[in-house]
Structure 1
Amino acid sequence: MTKVTRARSTSPPDGGWGWMIVAGCFLVTICTRAVTRCISIFFVEFQTYFTQDYAQTAWIHSIVDCVTMLCAPLGSVVSNHLSCQVGIMLGGLLASTGLILGSFATSLKHLYLTLGVLTGLGFALCYSPAIAMVGKYFSRRKALAYGIAMSGSGIGTFILAPVVQLLIEQFSWRGALLILGGFVLNLCVCGALMRPITLKEDHTIPEQNHVCRTQKQDFNKRVSPCSRLTKEWVQTCLCCSLQQEYSFLLMSDFIVLAISVLFMAYGCSPLFVYLVPYALSVGVSHQQAAFLMSTLGVIDIIGNITFGWLTDRRFLKNYQYVCYLFAVGLDGLCYLCLPVLQSLPLLVPFSCTFGYFDGAYVTLIPVVTAEIVGTTSLSSALGVVYFLHAVPYLVSPPIAGWLVDTTGSYTAAFLLCGFSMIFSSVLLGFARLIKKTKKTQPRFLAKESDPKLQLWTNGSVAYSVASELDQKDGESVAYSVASELDQKDGESVAMAVPGYNPT
């Protein structure tokens, strides 16, 4: 399985088998992110069956989400050293095993290990490699491809939520988990679709890494594998390989992106937990509050696809980075307006606006990451980016809940989330502005100090003389003499004589 035949290509094909990659990634997001959201439907069942409080029962969902993001770099490492197909298939087996074993749980601790850790680890092996494969197959229509692939989370939640509820009513929570375990095995089918591709930039391998592998092979022929020197050499080569894969961690642009992602992830998570309680607190009925969440999910799907299509148009193609900042900043502004929206007619436009731009920036996260680190390191970089989501996802809902308990209102919690997302957008925009300023200064200085251009003046006539080397028939001298108009005594005289001597 590790010896996979790679499709040869000098550039991303922007179609063909790439659409099968998009379909595979779409199914991966359904089987990972949508199933993770649907685990919250089991909340009441778990609480009733095991007679535990809200806090202990809520840890199941938190562990799944946190482990999925924390172990995302592990998924990148497996896909880089084996293949994307192997990583996703292995992840599908682990996730399915966790759900099936969870159906036999006798305590919440059992569910923490099976449904939480094991299933979360399996999702981590699938998520970031599948997203990275889309970036390898698409360049010109990358944002649209990501929009379709990432919409699986919203579409899957919209379809799976009532289905899971029906399964619980028909077969109890144990039977529903068992069926979900079988459904998640479709990740193995998704992995089989991920045909590896070799791009032109993938052939650019640093000489140090190549020498390291060659010397390692020669050395292992002469020395026993059990030798201490061999083990040390293997460790050195492994460090070289990992250093090459994660060299982008030293890039200033990626460091700024990582810090920005931390603030963005902190702000985006609490709304999905507290929108319904906030709507109930301002007098909205239960059915209307559920309608707000459904609206948020459906518009999120529309944002995934349409914003991806828009940013692939020619007039926005070079401004995808700015569009990402715009989407994150607008979600932050929506948060700031939320405390004054206290009726259903006002909350519905909020759900539409927030949901659309939430889907928009989620689509552009891989695009912005690829712009910074390139396609070759995209899988590893996405693993790190999604890893950075883990801690904010884990701590932001409890912090927001503590603020609600302390202040007696949702205002402080929503304002903190809003300012967090706005700061994320401003930080990236400020960093891009500084980078452009530094680029324009050397160009300006280079034009002023260009040795090829020199100016001599003789009265009112200016002559610009430039000489360049002409490698042709053994001759290496070429002269170019240009004279400008001489405004004198009302007469305009233009002189352009090769080898003209002003004396």
Structure 2
Amino acid sequence: MTFKKPPFGIFYGWLVVAAAFVITFVGFGSAYTFSSFFESFQHEFGASRGSVSLVFSLAGFLYFALGIVSAPLADRYGVKVLSAAGMILVGSGLILAGRAQSIMQVYAAYSVGIGFGIGSAYVPALGAVQRWFVIRRGFASGLAVSGIGVGTLLLPPFATWLISHIGWRSAYTTLGIITIILGILAALLMEDDPAKRGLQPDGAHSTPASQAHAPQSGLSVGQAVRTRRFIELYLASLIGALGVFVPFVHLAPYAIDHDASAATAVWLLGAIGIGSTAGRFFLGGIADKMGRERFLVAMYIGMAASFAIWAVSSSVYPLALFAIAFGLFYGGWVAILPAVVADMFGGRQAGRIIGVLYTSVAVGALIGPSAAGFAYDVSQSYLIPITASVVLNVIAAIITVMAAYRPAASKAD
């Protein structure tokens, strides 16, 4: 095989990582501005917390569930096309949400637009990153998805500032335009596979050992999903995700209930972004050294411990501690899960297998935040959903241990 020299001495895989970073930054960052608009939706449409929470839950369900469709489409049409289309959908969904005249129109614009948009771009982009790296897969995945953390840190406060100056409707329009422009520019940098550029995974770090585990090796989707390891990993992701997305919707309202200002409450969401960014930037490299499967177990335990902090917090400083700690472990979880999939089942169809696995996260994103909102409507308290989140993440850790120590299989076991 003839190898092409990387432009300016930079391994092109890092440009793919940078593109994935921007896509996750504008995609998830825009989606996680939802808490900034929470009160506006309640006041504008006279909606309960449960019904407003359902907007985010439907979007979350779609953008994780659609990976099972977008990954095969990316194999056919290319990750560049899927990423660009997804970012256009996200931006359009935001713009249309700003023009909604009822909560049902918000469901359609935000949930369908953002849900289908992120669902089209996220899994294909992550799958591409897995194919560009083997040795440094955990680190590369962490950098790619750290865009979610940075977006969570920067975009909700930016949205709050926009709302205070130009109103919530114009704020959504502004976010939508920014998302479309940055998203398309990032999509142009995406590349499906290093072989298309005459390269091997890891670039200069490529070794005979890494070549032996190149993306062409591994199980097919059909073989992978029938293994006990996949079933256990799927159950762990489903159970853990039921609690994982609750803070993104309910931390700000919880803080306001405990006498925090709206601006402070949104900055708590930004604190999740700070922790999440640290987790994605720095923990991925640690995972490569300590073992990515054991690292995943530690992330579930860490999230359970952080929810325990939230359960006993009633003022801003303990809530900030929770937000940073939760963000750290949540960021590590998101960063390492795709790499664990590629490690367990090989890179040949990693994107498709990740897409199937993420349907479990989709169910958790659909049920968790909305259930927490309706639980609050009934009990006027968040204690039940927060406590449940502790228990669920402990169970997820136990199941992941079972998957991690189960012998690998070349076929369905």
In 2, the alpha carbon distance for the partners of 1:334 and 1:157 equals 18
Aligned pairs for 1:70-469 (under 5 A) are 70-185=65-180, 186-197=182-193, 198=195, 201=214, 245-279=221-255, 290=266, 292-313=268-289, 316=290, 319-342=291-314, 346-401=318-373, 403=375, 410-435=382-407
In 2, the alpha carbon distance for the partners of 1:342 and 1:44 equals 20
In 2, the alpha carbon distance for the partners of 1:92 and 1:345 equals 36
Contact in 1 for aligned 2:271/2:324 (Cα 8 Å): yes
In 2, the alpha carbon distance for the partners of 1:332 and 1:205 equals 33
In 1, the alpha carbon distance for the partners of 2:255 and 2:287 equals 33
Q: 1:56 to 1:426 in 2, by over 3 A?
A: closer
User: TM-score with structure 1 length normalisation?
Assistant: 0.69
Contact in 2 for aligned 1:329/1:421 (Cα 8 Å): yes
Moved more, 264-273 or 333-342: 333-342
Contact in 2 for aligned 1:71/1:387 (Cα 8 Å): yes
Greater strand share, 1 or 2? 1
Aligned pairs for 1:22-37 (under 5 A) are 22-37=17-32
Q: What's the CA shift for 1:203? A: 5.4
Q: What's the CA shift for 1:51? A: 4.4
In 2, the alpha carbon distance for the partners of 1:405 and 1:58 equals 11
Q: How many residues align?
A: 388
In 2, the alpha carbon distance for the partners of 1:126 and 1:184 equals 13
In 2, the alpha carbon distance for the partners of 1:75 and 1:370 equals 18
Q: 1:409 to 1:107 in 2, by over 3 A?
A: closer
**% identical equivalent positions:** 25
Contact in 1 for aligned 2:236/2:397 (Cα 8 Å): yes
In 2, the alpha carbon distance for the partners of 1:114 and 1:338 equals 32
In 2, the alpha carbon distance for the partners of 1:342 and 1:166 equals 26
Q: 1:7 to 1:125 in 2, by over 3 A?
A: farther
User: C-alpha deviations, 1:419-444, integer Å up to 9, x for none?
Assistant: 111111111212333438x99xxxxx
Contact in 2 for aligned 1:292/1:348 (Cα 8 Å): yes
User: C-alpha deviations, 1:336-358, integer Å up to 9, x for none?
Assistant: 45434555554444433322222
Q: What's the CA shift for 1:409? A: 5.0
Q: What's the CA shift for 1:190? A: 1.8
User: C-alpha deviations, 1:27-59, integer Å up to 9, x for none?
Assistant: 110121111011332333344444444444443
Partner residue of 1:16 out of 11, 14, 36 = 11
Q: 1:342 to 1:149 in 2, by over 3 A?
A: same
Moved more, 123-132 or 95-104: 95-104
Contact in 2 for aligned 1:7/1:196 (Cα 8 Å): no
Q: 1:398 to 1:162 in 2, by over 3 A?
A: closer
Q: What's the CA shift for 1:283? A: 6.8
Moved more, 408-417 or 63-72: 408-417
Contact in 2 for aligned 1:40/1:61 (Cα 8 Å): no
Taking only aligned residues, the RMSD between alpha carbons, in angstroms, comes to 3.2
In 1, the alpha carbon distance for the partners of 2:2 and 2:26 equals 26
Moved more, 384-393 or 259-268: 384-393
Q: What's the CA shift for 1:272? A: 3.4
Contact in 2 for aligned 1:91/1:126 (Cα 8 Å): yes
Q: 1:49 to 1:194 in 2, by over 3 A?
A: same
In 1, the alpha carbon distance for the partners of 2:384 and 2:47 equals 30
SS at match of 1:255: helix
Gaps of 5+ in 1: 1-5, 207-243, 440-503
User: C-alpha deviations, 1:161-211, integer Å up to 9, x for none?
Assistant: 2332333344433333322222222322222211232367555799xxxxx
In 1, the alpha carbon distance for the partners of 2:385 and 2:91 equals 36
Q: What's the CA shift for 1:368? A: 0.8
Q: 1:183 to 1:205 in 2, by over 3 A?
A: same
User: C-alpha deviations, 1:109-131, integer Å up to 9, x for none?
Assistant: 33322232133212211011011
Contact in 2 for aligned 1:7/1:195 (Cα 8 Å): no
Q: What's the CA shift for 1:267? A: 2.3
Q: 1:344 to 1:37 in 2, by over 3 A?
A: closer
Q: What's the CA shift for 1:301? A: 0.9
Greater helix share, 1 or 2? 2
User: C-alpha deviations, 1:191-236, integer Å up to 9, x for none?
Assistant: 2211232367555799xxxxxxxxxxxxxxxxxxxxxxxxxxxxxx
Contact in 2 for aligned 1:64/1:119 (Cα 8 Å): yes
Partner residue of 1:40 out of 35, 39, 55 = 35
Contact in 1 for aligned 2:17/2:144 (Cα 8 Å): yes
In 2, the alpha carbon distance for the partners of 1:97 and 1:272 equals 22
Q: What's the CA shift for 1:370? A: 0.8
- Return the letter of the residue paired with 1:191: A
